Copies of this chain bind each other. A is one copy, B any other.
Amino acid sequence: MLKSLIRRHADPGTAPGTLRAPVERKVDEVRMRLLRYGAWGCEERELTTVAEVEEARRVAAGGEPGVFWLDVVGLHDVDVLAALGRVFSLHALALEDVVNVGQRPKVEEYDDHLFVIVRGFHEDGDELEPEQLALFLLPGVVLSFQERPGDVFEPVRERVRRGKGRARGMGADYLLYALVDAVIDGFFPLLEAFGERIEDLEEELIEDPSPATLERIYQIRRELLHLRRAAWPEREVVNSLHREETPHVSRETKVFLRDCYDHAVEVLEILETYRELAGSMLDVYLSSLSHRMNEVMKVLTIIATIFIPLTFVAGIYGMNFDVMPELHWAWGYPAALALMAAIGIVLVVFFKRRGWF
């Protein structure tokens, strides 16, 4: 994951505004799906060429008022993107950021459109895979760009289709909010999964710490760093949409953005809480290892300390001196055994006193 976040950068010195397809091609073909809706209803269809898009837009502009949402999946065909840029008069720098996947989430206001980048995540096997989502807000129009098909926007589309809630009655800025909100809400299931992993680790830490536990703690810290790197600027994105005076976002939608902002803050707070817990776990792990070492050492010390003197006594009476009177006593052997037993008992008592048993 580390590499995937960095490897995308253009060579230093490349001219700004140059469109270069992402290294990895994640879908076969660019797919464009149009969703038009308004008080009058809702219409959905797949478009295949930029010419069709242009045509659809012209029709829409002449028809009843409503929202025109074009969702583009696949960023590898630079010509298509450049053509769309011309159709909707998108700024070259913004368009460059669309294809430079791995951008920092941000809002940029251009004269006639608002450009928003957010980053979502989806689990790809064990790894969290980041995904860049680029959104343009023009009057009555929202353009969304994804690298590959994902279901992050599907619930919003579904709400529009069913005409539930405010979905159809409000403008394009509300759609922008709904898309950003969907991305931020997408953090919660991930956080839940993290919460469970942390709780499992906590049990493991107490019951059976192993180097694998350590690796898992390190892994969690690392992933939390990545989530945080996405979540911080995302909070700023929502905040600036909500606070700044911009003609693109209506006052009515801002109430919803305030709510969305609360969620973003909450994501960050949970992340920070997890980070602190993960930090504590490392300390606990180390303490736990130290404690185990103590236990091992105690066993060694008790056994060695008891038997070493005993063996020494046995050694003495194993010596071959001609003159060793004890050896010839009738009770010499039992006396020696008794001596050993006495030494052993004294040592055991000594250790008991120290609380080592």
Q: Which residues of A contact B (CB under 8 A)?
A: 2-3, 5-7, 9-18, 91, 93, 97, 103-104, 106, 108, 110, 152, 154-156, 158-159, 164-167, 178, 181-182, 185-186, 188-189, 191-192, 195-196, 198-199, 202, 206, 208, 211, 214-215, 218, 221-222, 225-226, 229, 255-256, 258-259, 262, 265-266, 269-270, 273, 276-277, 280-294, 296-301, 303-305, 307-312, 314-324, 326-330, 332-333, 336-337, 340, 355-356
- Give the Cβ gap from A20 to chain B, nearest Cβ, in Å: 13
Contact of B277 with A9 in the complex, beta carbons under 8 Å: no
Cβ-defined contact, A258 with B6, below 8 A: no
A315 to B320, CA, bound (A): 10
Output the least CB separation between A112 and chain B (Å): 13
List of B residues within 8 angstroms of A296 by Cβ:
294, 297-298, 301, 356
Which residues of B lie under 8 Å from residue A185 when comparing CB positions? Answer: 9-14
Query: Known: A3-B195, A322-B332, A324-B333. Contact between A13 and B277, CB under 8 A?
Result: no
- Counting every copy of the chain, the complex holds 5
A12 to B286, CA, bound (A): 38
Complex: A290 Cα to B274 Cα, angstroms: 25
Known: A307-B311, A322-B329. 7 other contacts (CB 8 A): A13-B185, A15-B166, A16-B181, A225-B277, A296-B297, A300-B304, A308-B308
Q: How far is the CA of A245 from the CA of B196 in the complex (A)?
A: 43
Identify the closest chain B residue to A11 (Cβ): B155
Cβ of A18: which chain B residues have Cβ within 8 Å of it? 165
Q: Is the CB of B312 within 8 A of A322?
A: no
In Å, the complex CA distance between A93 and B260 comes to: 11
| Neighbouring B residues of A15 by C-beta, 8 Å | 159, 164-167
* Structural contact, A300 and B290, CB atoms closer than 8 A: no
Task: Find out whether the CB atom of A321 lies under 8 angstroms from the CB atom of B332.
Answer: yes
Q: A262-B106, A299-B301 are in contact. Are A287 and B285 (CB under 8 A)?
A: yes
Measured between alpha carbons, how far is A165 from B299 in the docked complex, in Å?
67
Contact partner of A273 (CB less than 8 A), chosen from B165, B226, B259, is B226
Contact status B280-A2, CB under 8 Å: no
Contact partners of A17 in chain B: CB under 8 A: 165-166
Q: Could you pull out 7 A-B pairs where Cβ atoms are within 8 angstroms?
A: A3-B192, A6-B188, A6-B192, A103-B262, A294-B296, A315-B318, A320-B320
Give the residue name and chain of the B residue nearest to A185 (CB). B12
Which residues of chain B have C-beta atoms less than 8 A from A195's C-beta?
Answer: 2-3, 6
